[in-house]
Structure 1
């Protein structure tokens, strides 16, 4: 009996511990660094960009195949009583008999020819070279595009993370406001019953409480929306459990450097700009390849095979052919000219795209610099405003308790305090988000 009791107690304890561990794992919270690591490992967009890099590698390998000899095998079969073809097949099969052959009526002749052929492009006007160079640049473009996607992802995850923290803090302020107004309303109702407070004061507090609850509902909805956005960036479904670390404290960023210094840093290694410049180089290589079509082409070939009336192999019937073919297109229906025109227009478009990319980067960089500096200035101003609003509320509350001021004045001080706190929270997280935006605009995220 004691053993059964001990076993039951042990099983109950283990079950409770397992539930506790499961609950703790389910409620695991992520700090910003952990959220970024999860996004880098799980976001589908990065997987797409990696697939594009591998696709570009495959295209490079396809372009480099032109520099290797081409080898193929074939088997042909002929059955004919055409005198010329039959005579040729008899000679190829090494069984021509002048004494017993009627060359005008040879009858039906069968010929099997297994063959191995090898060819090598000696010269194609540089087309293969230019196409291979364009393919190499295409791999670099794919890598730059993945780097740019990574920068955007890190910036968006950071902005969404701080956005949710800002929403959580705003929600806490709204809840504190509800508690404060509810407490004041309860006291005012007691005073109203005692005849020391007007009915209008009670009604004003009820209106204020309703407004505070409405703001609380909106703040809770903002938290949900911010978390859903963050889950999407992390590659998680909406129904998956995810929570951020609400206690994480991030230091304010430093003031941004001068615009010229930031611009020089961005132009030196911004992945989007590097990708645009590489696209210009690709268009130049493709234009050169199109122009090379006017030059002659030379190919060497070797064929080895045997002819027989059946598939039996005999070394006495094998033969080898080798040679060089030189071709030059005299007229292609203007297709070569149109390909060159197309390549020229593609080069112009790539050049203008690179110029547009640089202008966009300059604008993003300047905007991010100004937003960061503005947010830092707002942090300083809002800190002073919060202190003043808290002190004003304290004084008004004392006057309210003494019956010197009306409830309207108290409500105004309460609203001013809440707004000051909200502005302080907003400015702080705006500065952190602006720092992430500035890193993305520079194109370099450590």
Structure 2
């Protein structure tokens, strides 16, 4: 089992006053929280809802359209009054057409329409909407993969920052011990004042470095909470797990899969092709069937009657000033854009996958070298401290040895986190989730 945190540095990794009841964060916990609470995941889910609504609108073309309306009028306009009289079946030959008087009318009507043929626009529109919904689903997959990667990277960066704090704290303790020993030897007349001052200056500089890395750790914690979609809380500091099984078992993938971004672009390409068909359908006739029923009631004449109407209409756009041609050209241009976007994405993702492989190989090699370097630096530092205590080593030499040990520990800290980060990026570049997503 791989641990990114050394047990000796554990006290430096937990913030002061941490709640004992708060469960330490693991990579799988961070991924689950990010997918659940990050706004990007919520936005992607809402895009799917919007795409499904587009499908619902497109399906309406295969359903009858029903409208019901009512209105009441009171008028002495000859034209309107005469129409109301006829609808109420109240006409008589003694009627003065020029002065029919005040005529009121309550009209209640219902109309049913059904599209029999739309030049293929309804079918193409529904297909485009379905492709758009599938593209939105792929966008959600891509967003989830990106969020999972970012959550793990943020957690590893927090590991890195806190281990850097531990490494610098170890350097401070080493220099403090060296200063204490040098003061005793200075009082005994065995060390020059300049050597003691050099050690004290180095201790002060290391403490200054400790302040910087602690600030970096605080920022890393804020960045981690940001990826999770949470606001920072002073009462609940972030605790990290010393052993992370889910992250330790992450292995190098043998093969990749199709990136969800590519799958989404292919669905958008299908949708763009259907939108060209929609635009071209405007040149074909539209056939609609319709039927209506109305009821008219008048209280001035105390008459009422009902009537109905049914028929079929055919409409053909003969000339619209070039509007249809312009829409077709626009749809074809958008289709060409999506094709080029897909080709660019294929090339870019292939390059990204190769870069991720090379980056992981480099990170793994750096980790192996840094681990060996730390072991050598620790052995050298132990021997140098013993020689300094016996007065067989100059102060400048001890400062150099301690500095190299601190630098080696920091490099190993960075290399350990970077190796896992590179592996997570490799999974994403190959279209694979870094961890099993809930």
Q: TM-score, normalised by structure 2?
A: 0.88
CA distance in 1, matches of 2:147, 2:382: 45
**Is 1:361 the equivalent of 2:358?**
no
Q: Which residue of 2 aligns with 1:289?
A: 278
Q: How many angstroms does 1:254 deviate by?
A: 4.3
CA distance in 2, matches of 1:390, 1:110: 104
Q: Which residue of 2 aligns with 1:223?
A: 217
Per-residue CA distance 1:79-123 (angstroms, 9 max, x = gap): 56666665554333222223x334565445444321111111111
Q: Is the 8 A contact 2:104 2:300 kept in 1?
A: no
Match of 2:124 among 104, 120, 130: 130
CA distance in 2, matches of 1:434, 1:142: 28
| 1:231-242 paired onto structure 2 within 5 Å | 231-239=225-233, 241-242=236-237
Match of 2:377 among 389, 393, 397: 389
CA distance in 1, matches of 2:97, 2:386: 130
Q: Which residue of 1 aligns with 2:12?
A: none
The 1:311–1:34 alpha-carbon spacing in structure 2 relative to 1, beyond 3 Å, is farther
Structure 1: segments with no counterpart, 5+ residues? 1-21
| 1:193-342 paired onto structure 2 within 5 Å | 193-239=187-233, 241-249=236-244, 250-251=247-248, 254-255=251-252, 257=254, 261-262=255-256, 265=257, 267=258, 270-310=259-299, 317-342=305-330
**Is 1:427 the equivalent of 2:421?**
no
Per-residue CA distance 1:313-372 (angstroms, 9 max, x = gap): 98x822111001100111112111111111111111111111222222222212211111
Q: Is the 8 A contact 2:252 2:423 kept in 1?
A: no
Could you say what secondary structure the match of 1:244 adopts?
Answer: coil
**Is 1:39 the equivalent of 2:34?**
yes
Q: Is the 8 A contact 1:231 1:242 kept in 2?
A: no
Bigger drift between 47-56 and 75-84 goes to 75-84
Q: Which residue of 2 aligns with 1:156?
A: 150
| 1:169-184 paired onto structure 2 within 5 Å | 169-184=163-178
Q: How many angstroms does 1:281 deviate by?
A: 1.0
Bigger drift between 399-408 and 173-182 goes to 399-408
Q: How many angstroms does 1:40 deviate by?
A: 2.0
Q: How many angstroms does 1:232 deviate by?
A: 0.6
Q: Is the 8 A contact 1:256 1:372 kept in 2?
A: no
Q: Is the 8 A contact 1:140 1:275 kept in 2?
A: yes
Q: Which residue of 1 aligns with 2:406?
A: 418
CA distance in 2, matches of 1:252, 1:218: 33
Bigger drift between 131-140 and 401-410 goes to 401-410
Give the total of aligned pairs: 414
CA distance in 2, matches of 1:114, 1:340: 41
Q: How many angstroms does 1:311 deviate by?
A: 10
Q: How many angstroms does 1:35 deviate by?
A: 2.1
The 1:119–1:39 alpha-carbon spacing in structure 2 relative to 1, beyond 3 Å, is same
The 1:388–1:24 alpha-carbon spacing in structure 2 relative to 1, beyond 3 Å, is closer
The 1:338–1:313 alpha-carbon spacing in structure 2 relative to 1, beyond 3 Å, is farther
Match of 2:362 among 342, 353, 374: 374
Q: Which structure is richer in relative contact order (CA contacts within 8 A, separation 6 or more)?
A: 2
Bigger drift between 392-401 and 346-355 goes to 392-401
CA distance in 1, matches of 2:19, 2:222: 21
Higher helix share: 1
Q: Is the 8 A contact 2:103 2:300 kept in 1?
A: no
CA distance in 1, matches of 2:365, 2:118: 64
Per-residue CA distance 1:60-86 (angstroms, 9 max, x = gap): 111211211011112245556666665
Q: How many angstroms does 1:205 deviate by?
A: 0.6
Structure 2: segments with no counterpart, 5+ residues? 1-17
Q: Is the 8 A contact 2:293 2:306 kept in 1?
A: yes
CA distance in 1, matches of 2:300, 2:104: 11
The 1:332–1:398 alpha-carbon spacing in structure 2 relative to 1, beyond 3 Å, is same
